[in-house]
Structure 1
Amino acid sequence: MVQTLDARTSQGSNGHNILTPSFTNGVPLLFAQVGLQFNNPGAFIRTFFSGVVELTASQLSTNGELVIEVYRDLGSSQHLVYRAGTIVIANEFFSPCVFKFTGSDFNVPPPVNGQLVYSVYATFTFNPLFPVSNIRLGPESFNATVYSEE
């Protein structure tokens, strides 16, 4: 039988204001982090997650690339569990760019301290000859739910 252990949401923005700091070309930006907490989870743990990032392409003179990476744990023990990307088209007709993602992390080893941390980074890469700013519109959010089998 499957048991829900915890569910959390990290919302950086609901989409009503421009977000700061803006992206630095090619530098990962932490935009979400959740700590899922539980006791006696059972032998098999799995996490399902989803999120959204929105940015404007109206200032871009050439296409850019947006990459999302989800890591389990913190610091030097971080482990990449998900990576996805999309091309951001430099055309006001295609702006804003809304990137939604869904993923999972299976057979997660139970953490000793009873907390499973996921950190989400967004990296935006664009032509450095054309500076851009104020492109993070939001919403930016990340949802994670951890399950176990009894």
Structure 2
Amino acid sequence: MVKTLDARTSQGSNGIGILNPTFTNGVPLLMAQVGLQVKSPGSWIRTFFSGSIKFQAVNLPISGFLGVEVYRESDGLQQLVYQVGTVVRPGRLVSPCALTFNGSDYNVPAPSSGQVTYTVYSVFTYNPQYSITNFRMGPESFNATIYSDD
């Protein structure tokens, strides 16, 4: 039997208004963080997560790249558990760019602290010879649910 241990959502924006700060070329930006409580877990702990980010790049003359990285932190150790990205095409007809993702983290070690934290970073990279204006528009969110067997 599967037991749900905890579920959390981190929402930076529901899509109303522009988020700050905007992206700096190639610099990871904290997108979300959730702390999941893991009390009396059974065996085989696993986490399922999903998220979305939407932004607009103005004056993008050639393609750029939007990436997302999800890290698990438990008992002071941080580990990359998921990575996804998409090409951001130039031109007004394809902007804004939206990226949604679903992932999972299997065989999560039971934390002695009773908490597993997932931290999500997003990064936008483009040719540095161009001056690009960008806006984080939202919706921007991250959802995580942690399970174990009884």
TM-score, shorter chain, exceeding 0.5 = yes
Share of identical aligned residues, percent? 58
Aligned to 2:81: 81
Aligned to 1:62: 62
Letter in 1 for 2:41: P
Aligned to 2:101: 101
Contact 1:8 1:143 in 2 (8 A): yes
Alpha-carbon spacing, 1:78–1:135, altered in 2? closer, same or farther (3 Å): same
Aligned residues: 150
- The answer to whether 1:142 aligns with 2:142 is yes
TM-score, length basis structure 2: 0.95
Aligned to 2:120: 120
| Misfit runs of 4+, over 6 Å | none
CA distance in 2, matches of 1:28, 1:148: 31
- Residue 77 of structure 1, CA deviation: 1.9
Considering only aligned residues, what root-mean-square deviation do their CA atoms show, in Å? 1.5
CA distance in 1, matches of 2:74, 2:38: 17
CA distance in 1, matches of 2:76, 2:114: 19
75-84 or 52-61: bigger deviation = 75-84
Q: Deviations over 1:85-135 (max 9, x none)?
A: 100011111111110000000000011111110000001101212222342
Structure 2 unaligned residues grouped into runs of 5+ = none
TM-score, length basis structure 1: 0.95
Letter in 2 for 1:55: F
Which protein has the bigger strand share?
Answer: 2
100-109 or 130-139: bigger deviation = 130-139
